[in-house]
Amino acid sequence: MPSNNIFNLGFWEKLPKPFFALAPMADVTDLAFRQMFVRYGKPDVMFTEFVSTDGLCSAGRDNLLKDLRYFENERPIVAQIWGTKPENFTRAVKILKKLKFDGVDINMGCPKPKEIKNGACAALIRNPKLALKIIAETKRAAGTMPVSIKTRIGFKEIQTESWIGKLLKTQPAAITIHCRTAAEMSKVPARWEEIARAVKIRNKLNSRTLIVGNGDVATLEEGKKRAAETGADGVMVGRGAFGNPWFFDRNASLGEIGMSEKLNAMLEHAHLFEKLFKGKKNFAVMKKHFKAYAAGFPGARELRVKLMATENVENVERAVNNFKI
């Protein structure tokens, strides 16, 4: 079995510079959401919703597998996992290898209170000993499948030098850095100067690990500018892609997308969600997407109110058709 110290870039080595990634987001980046980007403007790499390693190692595993479903046209596709037990990362990675993912990503950045209370995700920044053990076990189990990490610049205080320095020494294929602390969540502007600092730390260590910046990127052009300014190898986009499956299309921008196109895409997304997840996921998941699609045009607020009351795709169609009259 390969050593956990082996450096393996895998598909990451073939990506353009700067590359763009669609961020892993719970109850957001499901199969329907990702397929909208395949259709309208595919990013260079996609991530699944983050999935619990404990859950994948439990009797409820089959219920979680829907969150790991993907289509071949999404490659390269990376599965993101989270937890606190190194042995469960090993077991989870074996499942991901059977599912033939292109890579595995360790969530060390989510700041949600529930995960923090359990000592997982961003809480691992406060427990580097456990974090490093998790990375080592994940790499050992992954073999030739590249392992990446998504994290933040610190827990309560900025710790870029010490924390990212520790992670770089484990030789992951890539480190995505959300440039806020866990305590800041998304309440302050993203600190992109810390991405530049991480790149300098990486270069000083003569590491080949790719540095990916994340936070407050609203357009593709802004992402390119951030990469150029900081030296980041890639940019990950989360909230900026909501309601905008055209985000990664280099020939389009949200400003050029009309109301009808937005609403037609919203209906397409709703139909796709129901087709893929009827009886498996609550249709209410779509409402956060409706808020994003129904914005930026006259009457959008009134339409959003009606969309919040919908319970199925037929309700959505009726609301949109009545709005267009």
Which residues participate in catalysis according to the annotation? 110
Please answer whether residues 175 and 168 qualify as being in contact, where contact means their C-beta atoms are separated by less than 8 angstroms: yes
Chain centroid offset of residue 291 CA: 20
d(CA 90, CA 104): 11
CA distances from 155 to 109, 112, 172, 215 (A): 9, 12, 21, 16
- Comparing CA positions, the residue from 55, 46, 54 lying closest to residue 79 is 46
Question: Strand, helix or coil at 204?
Answer: helix
C-alpha atoms less than 13 angstroms from C-alpha of 170 in its C-beta half-sphere: 27
- Comparing CA positions, the residue from 245, 251, 186, 257 lying closest to residue 221 is 251
- Largest CA-CA distance found in the chain, in angstroms, rounded: 64
The string over 74-85, giving b where at least 16 C-beta atoms fall within 10 Å of a residue's C-beta and e elsewhere, is bebbbbbbbbbb
- The DSSP 8-state label assigned to residue 166 in this structure reads H
- Comparing CA positions, the residue from 174, 170, 229, 168 lying closest to residue 201 is 168
Please answer whether residues 201 and 237 qualify as being in contact, where contact means their C-beta atoms are separated by less than 8 angstroms: no
Nearest 5°: CA angle at 164, between 49 and 56?
A: 30
Tokens of 252: 């389009």
Q: What is the CA radius of gyration of the chain?
A: 20
